[in-house]
């Protein structure tokens, strides 16, 4: 009678043990992966706010405090020492916290189960920054920007001529200002979508030149005539320079002669 197990039996037992171990490992991996379904992977941020390595409930608290609460703060825009305020009530802001949590979990569970478990074991980060799910009134932003522009914008003033007794004195023009509305809209939108990104927005404007500058006055007024009633003289200016004087008769009462 032979003692012990034959080689085929030993092989069969080894195969069964290996399969059993593999099944147990698979079950363990699956169970561990399922236990992480409510966990957000390290490296996940929402609008720059770190919620990685937390449960969904803990992450929700962080989002409420650091993403949603700042929505109540007004948007403040400054320009040339003046502050313009767009309040949360005007914007009608709201945040989809559940949507942000769902997206964070979805990103955390990217890849195969083997990839995920390997990441859990190694403590690897996914390094993804999600945009906050914030809704607001675009019309309110447009209206606010238009109001700021109305207060900031200044029309340029053309250079002009101030006639004197025998001279023409150029009056210098003034540059205007035009708010960079598209840039301001973009900055406001970024802050509204990522609350707490900036405490204050600095608006900018570009200078606008007058249509007629001092250098262009001679071209604008190639000839200019003035009448000096006290001296009974008409003066002709060419390119802003006096070139000729003429004696004139000044009109009587009710028929006054214009001065220029």
pLDDT score of 186: 94
> Beta 44-46 vs 49-50: how paired, if at all?
antiparallel
How many CB atoms neighbour CB 153 within 10 A? 14
What is the residue-wise DSSP string for 167-234? -EEEEPPB-EEEE-HHHHHHHHHHHHHSTTS-S-EE--EEEE--SS-GGGHHHH-SEEEEEETTTTEE
3-state secondary structure of 240: coil
**Which band of pLDDT confidence, cut at 50, 70 and 90, is reported for residue 163?**
confident
The mean per-residue pLDDT over the stretch 81-87 comes to 94
The mean per-residue pLDDT over the stretch 184-210 comes to 85
Q: Quote the CA–CA distance of 45 and 4 in Å, as a whole number.
A: 61
User: What mean pLDDT is reported for the chain?
Assistant: 81
* CA-based radius of gyration for the chain: 39
pLDDT score of 182: 96
pLDDT at 138 over 60: yes
Q: Quote the CA–CA distance of 205 and 153 in Å, as a whole number.
A: 8
Lowest mean pLDDT among 13-27, 171-185, 198-212: 13-27
**Which band of pLDDT confidence, cut at 50, 70 and 90, is reported for residue 1?**
very low
How many CB atoms neighbour CB 154 within 10 A? 15
3-state secondary structure of 146: helix
pLDDT score of 17: 64
Q: How many residues does the chain have?
A: 260
The mean per-residue pLDDT over the stretch 83-87 comes to 94
What is the residue-wise DSSP string for 97-141? HHHHHHHHHHHHT-S-HHHHHHHHHHT----EEEPP-EE--HHHH
pLDDT at 248 over 50: yes
Q: Quote the CA–CA distance of 218 and 220 in Å, as a whole number.
A: 5
The mean per-residue pLDDT over the stretch 49-60 comes to 88
Domain boundaries, the chain: 36-208, 222-260
pLDDT score of 214: 81
3-state SS string over 35-101?
Answer: HCCCECCCCEEECCEECCCCEHHHHHHHHHHHHHHHHHCCEEEEECCEEEEECHHHHCCEECHHHHH
Lowest mean pLDDT among 2-6, 35-39, 236-240: 2-6
Structure tokens at 227: 């009448």
pLDDT at 195 over 70: no
pLDDT score of 98: 92
3-state secondary structure of 32: helix
pLDDT at 210 over 80: yes
Q: Would you say 195 and 70 are in contact if contact means Cβ atoms under 8 Å apart?
A: yes
Q: What is the DSSP letter of 157?
A: B
């Amino acid at each position: 009678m032979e003692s012990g197990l034959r080689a085929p039996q030993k092989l069969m037992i080894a195969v069964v043990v290996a399969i059993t171990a593999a099944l147990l490992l698979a079950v363990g991996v699956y169970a561990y992966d399922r236990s992480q379904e409510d966990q957000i992977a390290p490296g996940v941020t929402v609008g720059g706010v770190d919620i990685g390595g937390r449960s969904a409930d803990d992450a929700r608290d962080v989002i409420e405090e650091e993403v949603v609460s700042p929505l109540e703060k007004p948007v403040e825009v400054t320009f040339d020492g003046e502050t313009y305020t767009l309040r949360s009530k005007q914007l009608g802001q709201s945040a989809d916290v559940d949507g942000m949590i769902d997206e964070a979990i979805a990103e955390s569970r990217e890849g195969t189960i083997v990839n995920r478990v390997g990441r859990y074991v190694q403590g690897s980060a996914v390094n993804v920054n999600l945009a906050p799910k914030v809704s607001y009134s675009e019309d309110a932003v447009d209206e606010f920007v238009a109001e700021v522009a109305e207060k900031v914008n200044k029309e340029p003033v053309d250079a002009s001529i101030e006639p004197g007794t025998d001279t023409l004195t150029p009056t210098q023009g003034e540059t205007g200002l035009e708010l960079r509305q598209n840039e301001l809209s973009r900055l406001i939108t970024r802050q509204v979508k990522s609350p707490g990104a900036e405490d204050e927005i600095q608006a900018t404007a570009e200078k606008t030149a007058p249509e007629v500058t001092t250098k262009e006055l001679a071209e604008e007024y190639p000839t200019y005539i003035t009448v000096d009633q006290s001296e009974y003289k008409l003066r002709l200016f060419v390119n802003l320079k006096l070139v000729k004087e003429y004696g004139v008769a000044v009109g009587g009462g009710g028929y006054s002669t214009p001065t220029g």
